Amino acid sequence: MTAQLPPIPPGPADTTHPRRALARLALSTAYREAADFAAGGVPTVSDEYGDGYDNVDQAARLVSMAQDVLVRAVIYARERGGRWDDIAEALNVAAGQARDQYTAAIEQWEDALNRPWERSGRFLASRMPDGTTEPDETAADLDQWCLQHLKQNHGARHNAHNDGLEDHMVSANLSKHTPVTEIASLTRTAIYLARRGTATSPAELDAYETRKKILLASLAQEVT
Q: Which residue ranges make up each domain of the chain? A: 1-43+52-175, 178-224
Q: Are 220 and 194 in contact (CB under 8 A)?
A: no
* pTM, two decimal places: 0.93
Q: What is the pLDDT of residues 100-140, one digit of tens each?
A: 999 999 999 999 999 999 998 888 999 999 999 999 999 99
Q: In this predicted structure, what is the pLDDT of residue 3? A: 63
Q: In this predicted structure, what is the pLDDT of residue 41? A: 93
Q: In this predicted structure, what is the pLDDT of residue 2? A: 54
Q: Give, for 125, the enclosing helix (H) or strand (E).
A: strand 123-126
Q: Tally Cβ neighbours within 10 Å of residue 204.
A: 21
Q: What is the pLDDT of residues 175-200, one digit of tens each?
A: 999 999 999 999 999 999 999 999 99
Could you tell me the pLDDT band of residue 221, with boundaries at 50, 70 and 90?
confident
